[in-house]
């Protein structure tokens, strides 16, 4: 594969915030916890977002929700993402989280999970650009930190409102916009329509991050080249594959794509991930939570199916170690 033109990897300035690179980790419910963010930072992510958290729960000082905002020891820049249905709720959440030290606060305007939609949050906001602007304005009234919004194209194919929502958010004080170019109705089906990222970039003056169908370093280079967006935000493509951050940085900097990692390196990283998760949530819970990550780390490995079946029964780090060591010996 030809190397892309040097210069695709670069810093991004978001209002008063200087981010040293343009390859970021997206907020992912159930996945982008402190342990996984730490792994992604080690492998080259310039900025990582926490899991999406409820503004209402934050305003009520919900302990479980606040735990989701704990930072990893190696995180220098962490973005917090909230979901909210009303300006007052969002403002209260911002007041609560500013002392926790986020680098940037994002408003989710794209989540299509039913329980989020039932709360009139997430992708529901795409139906009302005016409300998006009002919520961002309320958040802005509580902080000088940079604010951003993460959008989908619209509620469905007959109502593509992303340009209006972006415009309203920017006028209210947002300094960055991320677009996943699918509609709420599509969820994750079909193909991400990158041409809309290009349209958004041409329409606004703030930095634009692109998301959607980024599974390889080449995908990231192609998105930047084809859309002109300022950076990429990796989600599903980095699950079990945090190595994609370093691979992408190398490729965007003009180097050839790195060779595929062998099973030993992938499983070693998975075990490091598990140990950090255990430090955060305790060993029993970490071993349960790690199962979904382990499925991703072992995808494509020879004999990976049997390995995953064994891990489902593991209840301690020692059992994980025995399973991995046995697999590598065989």
Count how many Cα atoms sit within 13 Å of the Cα of residue 12 in the half-sphere of its side chain. 25
Q: How far is CA 238 from the centre of its chain?
A: 9
DSSP reduced 3-state for 72: coil
Polymer length of the chain: 330
Nearest CA among 28, 26, 139, 147 for reference residue 93: 139
**Residue carrying the six token digits 């180097």:** 255
Distance CA 302, CA 144 (A): 51
All residues at 6 or more sequence positions from 181 whose CB lies less than 8 Å from its CB, including other chains: 152, 153, 162, 192, 193, 194, 195, 196, 197, 210, 212
Distance CA 323, CA 326 (A): 5
> Which one of 109, 111, 229, 287 is the catalytic residue?
111
- Taken in order 192, 195, 199, 205, the sign of the CA dihedral is positive
Q: Is 111 a catalytic residue?
A: yes
Q: Residue 326's CB: how many other CB atoms inside 10 A?
A: 11
DSSP for 253-298, written as a single string:
TTPPPPPPPPHHHHHHHHHHHHHHHHHHH-HHHHHHHHHHHHHHHT
Q: 69 near 99, Cβ under 8 Å?
A: no
In our burial notation (b when 16+ CB lie closer than 10 A, e otherwise), range 122-138 reads bbbbbebbebbbbbbbb
Residue 87 is classified by DSSP as H
- What residues are labeled active site? 111
């Amino acid at each position: 594969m030809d190397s892309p033109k040097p210069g695709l990897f670069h810093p991004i300035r978001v209002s008063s915030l200087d981010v040293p690179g343009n390859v970021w980790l997206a907020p992912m419910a159930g996945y982008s916890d402190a342990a996984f963010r730490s792994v992604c930072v080690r492998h080259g992510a310039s900025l990582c977002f926490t899991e999406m958290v409820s503004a209402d729960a934050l305003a009520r000082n919900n302990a479980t929700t606040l735990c989701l905002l704990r930072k990893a020891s190696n995180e220098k820049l962490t973005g917090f993402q909230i979901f909210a249905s009303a300006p007052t709720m969002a403002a209260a959440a911002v007041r609560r989280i500013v002392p926790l030290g986020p680098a940037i606060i994002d408003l989710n305007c794209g989540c299509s999970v039913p329980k989020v939609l039932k709360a009139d949050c997430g992708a529901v906001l795409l139906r009302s650009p005016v409300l998006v602007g009002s919520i961002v304005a309320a958040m802005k009234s509580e902080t000088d930190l940079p604010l951003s919004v993460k959008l989908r194209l619209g509620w469905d194919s007959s109502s593509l409102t992303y340009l209006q929502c972006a415009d309203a958010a920017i006028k209210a004080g947002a300094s960055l916009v991320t677009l996943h170019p699918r509609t709420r109705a599509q969820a994750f089906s079909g193909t991400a329509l990158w041409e809309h990222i290009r349209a958004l970039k041409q329409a606004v003056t703030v930095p634009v991050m692109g998301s959607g169908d980024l599974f390889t370093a080449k995908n990231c280079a192609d998105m930047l080249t084809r859309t002109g967006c300022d950076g990429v935000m990796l989600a599903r493509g980095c699950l079990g594959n945090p190595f994609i951050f370093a691979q992408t940085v190398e490729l965007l900097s003009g180097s050839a794509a790195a060779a595929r990692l062998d099973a030993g390196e992938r499983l070693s990283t998975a075990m490091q991930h598990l140990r950090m998760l255990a430090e955060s949530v305790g060993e029993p819970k970490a071993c349960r939570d790690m199962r979904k990550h382990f499925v991703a780390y072992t995808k494509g490995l020879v004999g990976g199916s049997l390995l995953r079946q064994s891990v489902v029964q593991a209840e301690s780090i020692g059992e994980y170690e025995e399973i991995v060591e046995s697999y590598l010996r065989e």
